[in-house]
Every structure is written in structure tokens, then in C-alpha cells.
Amino acid sequence: MSTTRILLVEDDPLLRELVEMVLEVEGYSVACADNGAAGLEQAERDAFHLVILDLLMPVMDGMRFLEEFRRSAERRPPVLVLSASTTPDMTDRALRAGAAAVARKPIDQEELLGLVRSLLEREQSEAGTGNAGKSNGGA
Amino acid sequence: MERAAGGEKGWGPLRHPFLSLALFPVLLGLTVAAIGELGLLRVGNGFLFDLAVARVSPEKPQVLVVRAEPEDAARITERLRGLGADGVMLVLPDASAPVPEGAVAGVQPDQHPRGEVWVLPAKPIGRVAAEIVPPGQRTTRRFLLWLLGEDGPIPTLEGIVTTGISSHPERLAGLPPGEIMPVLEGAQVLAGHLPPGSLTGLIVVVGPPAFQDAERYRVSTLPGAPMVSAAEFHARALQSVLTERTVIAIRGLPSAVLLVLFALLAGAIGGLAPLRRQVPGIVLAGALAVAGGMALIGTAGLLLPLVEIILIALVLALRAAFRKQAAIRRKLLLLGDRSAAQLRSPHRIPDEERWAEFFSAAARLTGVENSLVLSESAEGAFHPLAVFGAPLHESGSPEGSLARSRDFDRADAVPGAPVIASGIGSRGDVQVVRLNSRGEAGLYWVFTTPQASAERDHVQAAAGRLARHALERLDRARPHADWQEPEDRLDRALSGIITRNHEVARAFAGLQAAIILFDPAGVPLQANESMERLLQKAGLSLSRTTPVDFAVAAAGLEMEDARRTLGYLVRHGGQARLGTRTQIGGRHYTVRAARIEGDLLFEVNDVTELERLTRIEAELAGEIDAKLRNDLEAITLATRLAADERFAPERRTRALQMIAQAAQRAGGTLRSLDHLVESSLFENETRAYPLNPRSALDRALARIGPDAERAGAHVRVHQPELVSLVLAEPDQLDCLIEAMLQIIVSDSSRGSEIAVDLIERKESSEIAMQGGFGLPAARFADSLHAPQQDHRSPFRILQRAMRQLPAWGAELTAQSDVGQGYRFVLRLRKT
């Protein structure tokens, strides 16, 4: 049984470690990147079922990551944007750039996991029997 | 003879002031001495005597009181002799009581004429005495040691048991209220339990206990002094004699001489010292004499007529105060007469510089060039009070000989409204306006207007506004005017305008903002240099600008909106932001209008730089917001993880560490935000305007009044009628004063007093307030400096206002202690 793999792109080390812990205890496999450029590299190297993305980051911000991420391949896993600054304008831009959902920090554990599960289920249903599954994600 | 005559001539002028200086004090001294001899001031002197005696430390008792009924007196006396008592005094309630053999019997000497009742032998028999004190009979501290009998002095009871004969028979016994007398019951003495010789060295007073108030005597006039029986009263008097606490009261001729001497001394101070030192000098002399007198009670055993001395000092001080007032009034009247004479003189224009200054300002504001102010005498002749610019007699009216024409009648019809004076100026360019109300001698302002009709209309309108302004001020000065002459009032009104203009101009010169001040009639009163430059840039003329014109041009308002907004401000007060980003000459400005002291003030601030800073601050604030959200997110997630039992203990510990890390980081972010906000955002809002501190105080008192009433506290306000303008931001000053009052009122108990004083100093005005129960000093200091969570807390308002004080040049001193209440002193810099 394959594991649901999530790519976490977040520049704040504290938050990165915490989100990783939250997801791992639920059975997800998490790979981390500390900026958009590193995240793109990871995404090119490995296959992920979901990307969790911060917007304000050094080197390459989340918006640029979204644009590059969508441009480089026809089919991409859903991207959940988690950002501290989400004005209506920025939310709209992120959604147009290809984000599946936008959530504003602070977000609690249940809400985060709920969003992750719902996006994964939607992805699964859209992809039919798709190539990604999860062992016990969302348990 | 010649020398004698010359001497008399020489004495003539000298005798009179000397006599007048000495006569009153001598008469006063003698009168007060006579009042003292009548006994009218005895209670007061007794009180001062008791006050001095009360401070004496008690000594070892030398007198014992034995409470016993009269029938046991003989047996007890016998027993006391056996116990070694040094002397025994019997205090008997009536004459029928059995008296031991050898005792002296008598009554109080001041109750019966000398020699009538006394049955005393020529020589004392032993040391046993008896005194009959019927119930209700008065016993006083004044007693005699001996009386003069036919065969020489006869010692009284106190004299027999104590010292016997002395040179001065009348004494006053000092009875400290706190003195404790040893008391034994008669039964204890008769029981025989006391060892022989145990009373050696003691004088024993035997008498019945007092069961009713009528039988009791108060030992002192001081509040709370004990009431004792007649026997104990005598015992205390004896103790006083034995411990040398008795005094001799100075009475009669020595007292009169002393009082006359003091009155002469104090009178000399009152007559010879400079005017302002007379009252303090007399009061000081009285205080020193009384202090010396009090000291003499303990050191020399003398009681001076202290109340008489106080009375003399008081009368002389009041006399000196009245004389001082009369002298000041005389000087003022003299000054007034001189000033009035100068003002009325047709040959002299008073205070030319001041008048010139006023009309120079008037010309600048209204466009008037030539001015003449005329006063009309009772005979109908005109006299010029001031001339400015080209003399108007060039228009056909020689100075000093203007006759009343129809022009003046027309000006009289509507005071404050200029009319064309065709009789004075042949070209129709001269106008005249009446400056005071009808019903009194007229004051007129004659001025020239420019030839061009557009200019003329404008100048006429502006001059009319100025004239109405002067008229209003003259009418306002009427109830307070000491001088009835209208030109005097005009002079004073103009002085007020000029002084105020100076104050306002000085204040505006120091401001960064461009400021213009209009009077309620719309006449521009003041504008600082920044405003003049700005008006030039905007193409506006200072003398022609009205408030509405200014609001339209500077704030970009529609004419109707400007009228409505400014009308509201004039009627209701307050302030309004008229434009937020008006662009003049490529820079951005904000325009604010406010009603201050009845006038309309416009403030224009160049906010170009501020806008740039605001943008930077907004970006910084956005970043801080993002950081805080990350921290909050970390805390939210870590909190759940730390409680999740699916994690190993070391990972849960790690989650707890992350909470601490995130909290610490958030704290740092908040501190940097706090610094940013406090140091830059609010400092840019700091402004200061000239304003009347009394109005601010009145407003705060009115708002706090209901709270003080609910608390049952009485607010005592003391403030001068006229105060100078000070620099402050009106709203923040109101808030600050209210916050200080709020702190005191909320800590005041029913019936307590809150003192509020407005004090004028040389460079500043002080608002001082005191009251309430108070906080411990350390806690109060903490409240003043520690962050306050509640936005409505008066301490928070105080904290915020304190940060603005340096920008106003003001200072606040705050003190508190438990039981001492709060004391705030707000020192505001004068303009």
C-alpha cells in the first residue's frame, strides 16, 4: 500500500517542523522545502499528492512557485496555500494562478487536516483510480 | 525766645506724624488692657496656659487623694498622721462637717469678702487644713497663698500645706490633663493595712468622691480633659505648687504697660516699614511675642496677657492692610487720572506706537491706508485720538477742528457700519464708522478707501468687520469698566486685541504647520509665515481671504459644503478635517479647521513626507502582521501536538519548546511594533495651539461634576478671572485634565474635598489638583508607567498625554501616598 506524499514549502523553520509533525502523525509522508525554488526542484524530483505552500518566502515566493509549477507540467497535484497575508486580491491571484484552496494563518490542526483530506479526496475522485493513494491518511 | 519759637516751628511738622504713629497704638494697648482686666479674655489666656502646661512631663506624685465621707475625716486624719503624712488637707462639702482638732477651717476666699468668714488664727497650727467646698461651688485654678489680715499675712489652705508666705499671693496652678494622681479609699486607710511611715513625704487630700457632674471639675480647657472631684482637683493644684508649676499672671498696671509697649512696637512696624512688609511685619512681631510668652510660662513661671497681644497684632495688621489697599487705590486713581488726562488732551496722541501698531495691522488686514480715530466731547467737538498714514485733513478737515456733520449722524444710525463721509472727503473715498454704542460720547474711525470700485467694496467690507469687532469688544468691556469714558474703554479693548495678537503670533511663529486665524466675523486676525507663503503659492491674498474662500481654495471644498461645515464649527465648536490630500505646488496637504476661543483656526500641514512614512509604516505593519500570524499558527499547532498522546514524550517536550520559542518570537515582534507605534505614529500627531487653560479646566470640571456629586465629594475651584493663553492641543488637554480629576474623584469619599487651583506664574500657568485617599507611592508610580490594558483607564489616558507634554513645553508632576491623596500639578507654558 503506497503512502500519501505531501510537499510542504514553508520558509519558517518552526512552522515547517510543526506542520510536518501534524501530517506525519496522521500517516502522511512529508517532504519539506524552505522556498519556492527548492520546492520546484523537489516537485520535479518526486511525485506528490498534495503541495502545501506559503506565499511570503525568500528566493522565490509562493505566487511565482504556483505559476512555474503549473506551467511546467499539464497535470499537477492540488496546491493548498497557507499564508499569513491573504488580502482578497492576493487570494484571488493565488486561485487564478492554480491554487486549489487558500487558507489564512493561524489555522488549527483540525481545520488543516480537514482541508488536506478534502483536497486529496477531490483529487482522487478527479483522477479516477489515479496513481496516488494513501494508506491511512485522514484517519 | 527765637530759638524756642524756632523749636516750636521745627516740632510742628514732626509732632503730628509722631503722634499719629503713637496715639493709636497707645489707645489700642490701653483699651485691650482694660478689656483683659474685665476678664473677657481670661478663657483664651487660660487655654494658652493649659496648652503650655500640657506639654510638661509629669513628675513623681507628691500628693495622695483619699476618698472618704466627712464623718470619717477626723479618724482618717488621725490615722494619716500615724502613717507619716507630711500634711493633710480636708475638703469638706459643708460647714457642719466635723473638723479635726487643730485644723484650719475656711472657705474659698473669692466666695466671701475678706475677714467676714475667715476664722483663721494669726499663725498656722500644724499642717492640717480643712476647706469647706459646698456642692456646685466653683473651684478654679487661680488661688491665693495668703491673705492680708489685720495682724499681717494669713496663709490660705494651699499656703499652709505647702510653702506658706511668699511675695506674690495669687497663683495659677498648672494642671496637665494627662497627670495621674494616686487615690486610696478611706476604708483602706482605716483598715490599718498600710505600714507606718508609708506616707512619709506625701501630702494627703481627703474628700468625698464626686458622683454627679455638678460635683466634678474639669482640670483643663483643652478638649478631652478629665472631670475630677473637688478633692482630686485640690490634690492636682497642690501637686502643681509642690512641683513648681504654678505661674503668676501678669495683670493690672504691669500688663497695661506691657501691652502699650507691644502696641507701640507693632504700630511702628506698621507705620515705618515698606507698604508690602507692614502686615507680615506686624504678624511676625505678634507671633514672636506670643511664642516668647509661651516660653516664659515654663521658664519663668509668668503668664503674659497673650490673647491681648494677639488682639493688638490683629487690629494693627487689619489697619495696615486697609491702609495698603487705600494707598494702592490712591495710586491707581492718580495713574488713571493722569492717563485719562493725557488721553483727553487734544494736543497729544497717547501711546502712538501702540495705536500705530494696531492700525498698521488693520491696514494689512483690511487694505485701509489712512486712519483717524476721533472722540467727541460733551460740547460736540472732535478730538483725534490717533492718526495713521497720510493726515486726513488733506481731504479738507484740519486736525482738531472737525465739526459734527451729517456724515456722523448717519454713522450714529448703525454703529459698526461704515458710511461714505462726503462732508470730509470730496472724492468719496473717505468713510466713517461709529466704534461704540449710542448713548455715550461718540468714538469714530475715519478712513480712506482705494479709488477702484472693486477694491473699495472689499476694503469697506473688511473695515466694517473690524469695526464691528471693536464695537463688540467695547460693549463686552462695559460691565467691567472702572472708567466711564468710552475712549478709555476703546484703549483697553484695543490693548486686549493687541496683546492677544502678540501672544497668538508668538505661538504661531513656532509652529511647523501653516496657520491662519479668523475672528467670528471672518476677518483674518493672524497668519504665520508658512501660511503667507502657502497663500502666495495658492494665489490667495491674506487681506481678502474669508474662511469660506480659504476652505474652497485650500481644501478643495465646494462653496456650499464649505459654508455648511464652517457654519457648523462656528455654532457648535469642535474641529473638522476639511481635506486629506489637497495638492498645492506638487505637495500634499491636509487642512483642518477648529474653533478655538471663539475664533476660527485653519491648520494646513504638509503631509508629503508623512505620507511616505505612512506607506513605509503600513508595509512594516504588514510584515509584522505576517510574522505574528506565523507565530500564532506555530502556537496553535504546537499546543495540540503537546497534548497528543500518539507522540513520544520527547516529541511532546519538543512541541512545548516550540510553543515557548514562538511565544518569545511573538513578544519580540509586539515590542518592535509598540516601539514603532509610540515613537513615530503618534509623535507626528503632536500639535500645540494657544488656548485658554481656564476654558479647558471648566469643560473638564463640567464633565466630572456628576461623578463628584455621586461620590459626595466637594470640588473647590479657585482660578483667576483673567488668564494668559498657554500652548497645548485642545482635545488632549481636555482629556488630560479630565483623567486627573477622574483619578481623584473615583478615590474620594463622601464629604471629602477636592481642591482645584489655576495659578498664574511668570512663564507658565499651573493647574494643580489635590484630593482622594491616595495609592501607595510605589503602586502609583507603577500605574503611571506600566502598560494599561483598559483603553478607558484614566491612567492610560494620562500616560499617553504625558508623552505629548514635551511638545507643548509642559510638565506634569504627580504624587500620591496612602492617606495623603493624589496631587497633580500640570505646568503649561505661556504663549
Cell of B443: 468714538
In eight-state DSSP terms, residue A52 is: E
Can you tell me the mean pLDDT for B219-223?
80
Predicted local confidence at residue B335, as pLDDT: 44
Task: Check pLDDT > 90 for residue B371.
Answer: no
Contact A105 B622 (CB under 8 A): no
For chain B, say whether A87 makes contact (Cβ under 8 Å): no
Indicate which of A10, A12, A14, A28 best probes the interface with B, i.e. most B CBs within 10 Å of its own CB.
A14
Report which of residues B369 and B57 the model is more confident about. B57
Cell of B702: 463640567
Write down how long chain B is: 831
Contact A14 B658 (CB under 8 A): yes
For chain B, say whether A102 makes contact (Cβ under 8 Å): no
> B267 with B24: CB under 8 angstroms?
yes
Instruction: Quote the CA–CA distance of B431 and B74 in Å, as a whole number.
Output: 115
- What percent of chain B lies above the pLDDT cut of 70? 65
Report which of residues B57 and B186 the model is more confident about. B186
Predicted local confidence at residue B44, as pLDDT: 85
Residues of A with Cβ-Cβ distance to B648 under 8 angstroms: none
Cell of A12: 519558517
Predicted local confidence at residue B206, as pLDDT: 82
Task: Check pLDDT > 80 for residue B734.
Answer: yes
Contact A84 B630 (CB under 8 A): yes
Smallest Cα distance from A73 to chain B, Å: 31
For chain B, say whether A139 makes contact (Cβ under 8 Å): no
Residues of B with Cβ-Cβ distance to A56 under 8 angstroms: 626
Please state whether beta strands B575-584 and B587-596 pair in parallel, antiparallel, or not at all (unpaired): antiparallel
Contact B637 A19 (CB under 8 A): yes
For chain B, say whether A25 makes contact (Cβ under 8 Å): yes
Predicted local confidence at residue B755, as pLDDT: 94
Contact B634 A104 (CB under 8 A): no
Contact B629 A14 (CB under 8 A): no
Predicted local confidence at residue A120, as pLDDT: 92
- Mean pLDDT value across chain B: 73
Predicted local confidence at residue B40, as pLDDT: 81
pLDDT in tens, A41-74: 999 899 999 999 998 887 788 888 998 888 877 7
Confidence of residue B716 (pLDDT cuts 50, 70, 90): very high
Task: Check pLDDT > 50 for residue B341.
Answer: no
pLDDT in tens, B164-178: 445 666 777 788 887
Instruction: Quote the CA–CA distance of A115 and A99 in Å, as a whole number.
Output: 13
Beta partners for B599? B596
Q: Which of A57-66, B506-515, B669-678 is modeled with the greatest confidence?
A: A57-66
Can you tell me the mean pLDDT for A70-95?
82
Report which of residues B204 and B144 the model is more confident about. B204
Task: Check pLDDT > 60 for residue B350.
Answer: no
Beta partners for B204? B64, B88
Predicted local confidence at residue B485, as pLDDT: 56
Predicted local confidence at residue B458, as pLDDT: 67
Report which of residues B692 and B130 the model is more confident about. B692
- Chain A residue closest to B648 (CA)? A25
Q: Print the SS3 string covering B796-830.
A: HHHHHHHHHHHHHCCEEEEEEECCCEEEEEEEEEE
Predicted local confidence at residue B400, as pLDDT: 41
Task: Check pLDDT > 50 for residue B2.
Answer: no
Write down how long chain A is: 139
Cell of B729: 492641543
ipTM: 0.84
Task: Check pLDDT > 50 for residue B413.
Answer: yes
Least confident of A76-85, A96-105, B686-695, B739-748: B686-695
Of B627, B633, B644, the CB nearest to A106: B633
Least confident of B32-41, B128-137, B596-605, B703-712: B128-137
Residues of A with Cβ-Cβ distance to B633 under 8 angstroms: 15, 18, 82, 84, 105-107
Smallest Cα distance from A69 to chain B, Å: 24
Task: Check pLDDT > 70 for residue B152.
Answer: no
Smallest Cα distance from B615 to chain A, Å: 17
Smallest Cα distance from B645 to chain A, Å: 11
Smallest Cα distance from A130 to chain B, Å: 31
> B403 with B420: CB under 8 angstroms?
no
- Chain B residue closest to A55 (CA)? B626
Report which of residues B70 and B353 the model is more confident about. B70
Task: Check pLDDT > 80 for residue B58.
Answer: no
Can you tell me the mean pLDDT for B540-559?
79
Architecture of the domain made up of A5-126: 3-Layer(aba) Sandwich (3.40)
Cell of B321: 492692610
